[in-house]
Amino acid sequence: MQEINIQPLNNALDEQIKQKIDFKTKPLGSLGKLEELAFKICKIQQTLKPSISQPTILVCAGDHGITEEKVSPFPQEVTYQMVMNFLSGGAAINVFSKVHNIKLLVADTGVNYDFADYDGLLHFKINHGTRNFAKEAAMTQQECKQAMANGAQIVSEQLAKGCNVIGFGEMGIGNTTAAAALLCKYGNIHPDKACGAGTGLDAEGIKHKAEVIANALKLHKEVSSPFDVLATFGGYEIATICGAMLKAAELKMTILVDGFIATSALIAAHAIHPQVVDYCIFSHQSNEQGHRLMLEHLKASPLLDLGLRLGEGTGAAIALPILESAVAFVNEMNSFEDAGVSNKE
Amino acid sequence: MQEINIQPLNNALDEQIKQKIDFKTKPLGSLGKLEELAFKICKIQQTLKPSISQPTILVCAGDHGITEEKVSPFPQEVTYQMVMNFLSGGAAINVFSKVHNIKLLVADTGVNYDFADYDGLLHFKINHGTRNFAKEAAMTQQECKQAMANGAQIVSEQLAKGCNVIGFGEMGIGNTTAAAALLCKYGNIHPDKACGAGTGLDAEGIKHKAEVIANALKLHKEVSSPFDVLATFGGYEIATICGAMLKAAELKMTILVDGFIATSALIAAHAIHPQVVDYCIFSHQSNEQGHRLMLEHLKASPLLDLGLRLGEGTGAAIALPILESAVAFVNEMNSFEDAGVSNKE
């Protein structure tokens, strides 16, 4: 596995950051979570003048062998069709990225389709879909390592191009089943609690999905190391995102965490290196059952709760303007002294 | 009082709007509240191609006689000092408006200070602060009518300039006391529940504020018509915003509702003409105690819950990008058919 060297956040500027926020022309604490967010970004960047530079969302797409078990109401070909939709600019993540000035990259990490070259498409295919984890490990150790290294490489390249805030989205029919299995294993959660509707299962479908996971957990009960759990139940896109998040934390970038699948990648990253969470901002509470349990597992508080359950990084994209608000007030608001405004008596 | 003619929302396009949203390339309902928001904006605008045109925030400032009762930890002069801060571009609402491309207007509706002319300052002063409603009605009927008419005039002018989404902010030391009194009277709520910390009262201060309101409610117990309640307990900025909201609804504009004070103006508007709420989007749940009760009174569900309690329209400004996301997905996302993506099996 890639060597990871994530530094704990430095406390040296804490007092100065807090003071800068507290002396803005507003009642103390009156910007609520925006103040916490501003504090965190300042701390990650170790500065009193934070910035959001070339915010980027990387959408990783991959197929899943577990779809053989009929865990999704959509056919597997929707994964490549949606990648084509991303490349033509017509998907939700395209629209939200465009309206909020976010750079969008799409990576084929393991889609069951051979793509030609397109602008904005990164070729990091490991294989034409994972194996069916109801029968065998989804990935070989080598494949999983490679996917993580690919994610790390992409993030390093984006940092070099000037990006300091990066979010991750995904596309992969079947991947809520993989994510739910990861939650069960890392969080010691029962499949009945971890499984939700995904793209639109009914109650019977959700029950079936939970049974598939319960059986797979039995089959792979000997698997225990954080890395092996990821390789066994994860997916190429999830492993790529996991490696990307670890590298982003190592590089002191701000990580914008999306919904159920992206958070499953973070749970894996957290199991491998807990400090990764220090560099994360949780964009939203997804409506997919299990995401709340993931956030609890990570002791995370999300910015938005809009009932989203689309994936693709859409929650991260919609939350980016809130980060921009936080950074802007730190940099641009007057202090009481600047403005000649009387403070509290 | 101004004549108000607010039309109920037309249902004629409901099916078409719903269909347009449902056939976008995403699992059904997976954009959660963003779909409800998109639906509402389409319905207000009676179109399948909604737009946000020249979004504007009008900050109304006014002073309050009730400050004689020591209900705020900040001195009254902070109202005019903060207006000067708005005009110099250094307040929170300036920063958020700028970062989200919102046009910002500031109106002096009754500040206890005589302003010179400034770019972006609208002169609609009724008086140098209201009367102390612990002793007499805050406004005369004529003053309150004039303030409402002023708000209506400003909104009409903004519509003529191309604005179709308008939010309202406020500044006025003492105005959380006025807003809490309005909540008590319109919502039949006890002052102990309606009163919060405002700009930063301690527990004793909050208790005193609740007592001031309880006594005032006794003094003015005969006051009953929606308009008379507003004139008795409100403020110039609150009445101006109330008139502005009623006019905006009449003109079929989308109203972006901010926090505790702006919502108190809406509660007054709602008491005068309940249909006004059909044109409102509730930007956020404020951290000021009592705002939750206001939203319950209006059966409203807010977009954001970031623990804000600053006022100035800051919650409305921070929420505007969410409206932009909603409008953008309706206009720009592909349908399954457009994209050649297989729908649910």
The per-residue pLDDT for range B276-303, each reduced to its tens digit, is 999 999 999 999 889 999 999 999 999 9
Task: Give the one of B75, B198, B338 whose C-beta lies nearest to A90's C-beta.
Answer: B338
Query: Mean pLDDT, chain B, as a whole number?
Result: 96
Average pLDDT over residues A11-38: 97
Average pLDDT over residues A274-297: 96
The H or E element that residue A185 is part of is helix A175-187
CB contact under 8 A, B25 and A91: yes
Query: Mean pLDDT, chain A, as a whole number?
Result: 96
Q: What is the spatial distance between Cα B340 and Cα B310, in angstroms, rounded to a whole number?
A: 47
Task: Give the one of A75, A100, A333 whose C-beta lies nearest to B90's C-beta.
Answer: A333
pLDDT tens sequence across B46-100: 999 999 999 999 999 999 999 999 999 999 999 999 999 999 999 999 999 999 9
CA distances from A319 to A60, A208, A305, B161 (A): 19, 33, 10, 30
The predicted structure's pLDDT at residue B197 = 86
The single residue of B35, B36, B312, B345 carrying the catalytic annotation is B312
The predicted structure's pLDDT at residue A343 = 77
Q: Mutation target for B interface from A20, A21, A26, A30: give the one with most B CBs within 10 A.
A: A30
Instruction: Please list every residue in chain A whose beta carbon sits closer than 8 Å to the beta carbon of residue B304.
Output: 304
Q: What is the spatial distance between Cα A276 and Cα A298, in angstroms, rounded to a whole number?
A: 11
The predicted structure's pLDDT at residue A199 = 84
Instruction: Please list every residue in chain A whose beta carbon sits closer than 8 Å to the beta carbon of residue B31.
Output: 92, 306, 308, 310, 314
Q: Mutation target for A interface from B36, B76, B99: give the one with most A CBs within 10 A.
A: B99
Give the tokens for residue A278: 């220090």
CB A341 within 8 A of CB A321: no
Average pLDDT over residues B231-249: 98
Q: How many alpha carbons lie under 13 Å from residue B101 in its C-beta half-sphere?
A: 11
Q: What is the spatial distance between Cα B101 and Cα B320, in angstroms, rounded to a whole number?
A: 9
The predicted structure's pLDDT at residue B2 = 59
Residues recorded for chain B:
345
Q: What is the spatial distance between Cα B141 and Cα B1, in angstroms, rounded to a whole number?
A: 9
Average pLDDT over residues A216-241: 98
pLDDT tens sequence across B313-333: 999 999 999 999 999 999 999
The single residue of A35, A211, A312, A337 carrying the catalytic annotation is A312
Residue of B nearest to A320 (CA): B321
Does the active-site annotation cover B312?
A: yes
The answer to pTM > 0.90 is yes
pLDDT band at A80 (very low <50, low <70, confident <90, very high): very high
Q: What is the spatial distance between Cα A86 and Cα A104, in angstroms, rounded to a whole number?
A: 9
pLDDT band at A142 (very low <50, low <70, confident <90, very high): very high
DSSP state of B66: G
Give the tokens for residue A206: 């959700």
The predicted structure's pLDDT at residue A345 = 60
Residue A309 pLDDT greater than 60, yes or no: yes
Task: Give the one of A95, A305, A333 whose C-beta lies nearest to B92's C-beta.
Answer: A333
- Residue B64 backbone dihedrals phi, psi, to 5 degrees: -130, 125
Give the tokens for residue A164: 């300091």
pLDDT tens sequence across B186-227: 999 999 999 988 888 999 999 999 999 999 999 999 999 999
The H or E element that residue B44 is part of is helix B32-45
Q: What is the spatial distance between Cα B218 and Cα B134, in angstroms, rounded to a whole number?
A: 10
Burial (CB < 10 A; 0-12, 13-18, 19+), residue B158, is buried
Q: What is the spatial distance between Cα A216 and Cα A250, in angstroms, rounded to a whole number?
A: 33
Residue B1 pLDDT greater than 70, yes or no: no
Q: What is the spatial distance between Cα B9 and Cα B6, in angstroms, rounded to a whole number?
A: 9
Instruction: Please list every residue in chain B whose beta carbon sits closer than 8 Å to the beta carbon of residue A198.
Output: 27
pLDDT band at B245 (very low <50, low <70, confident <90, very high): very high
Neighbouring-strand partners of residue B255: B166, B280
Average pLDDT over residues A323-332: 98
Residue of B nearest to A33 (CA): B306
CB B25 within 8 A of CB A92: yes
* Shortest Cα distance, chain B CAs vs residue A331, angstroms: 9
The angle at the Cα of B277, spanning B276 to B280, to the nearest 5 degrees, equals 105
pLDDT band at B166 (very low <50, low <70, confident <90, very high): very high
The predicted structure's pLDDT at residue A1 = 57
The predicted structure's pLDDT at residue A289 = 86
* Shortest Cα distance, chain A CAs vs residue B324, angstroms: 7
* Shortest Cα distance, chain B CAs vs residue A81, angstroms: 5
CB B168 within 8 A of CB B204: no
CB B284 within 8 A of CB B63: no
Burial (CB < 10 A; 0-12, 13-18, 19+), residue A47, is middle
Residue A228's contacts (CB-CB under 8 Å, 6 or more residues apart) are A141
Task: Give the one of B32, B91, B198 whose C-beta lies nearest to A333's C-beta.
Answer: B91
The predicted structure's pLDDT at residue A2 = 60
The predicted structure's pLDDT at residue B295 = 98
pLDDT band at A96 (very low <50, low <70, confident <90, very high): very high
Q: What is the ipTM of this complex?
A: 0.96
Q: Which domains does chain A have, with CATH numbers?
A: 56-327 (3.40.50.10210)
CB A43 within 8 A of CB A330: no
CB A238 within 8 A of CB A245: no
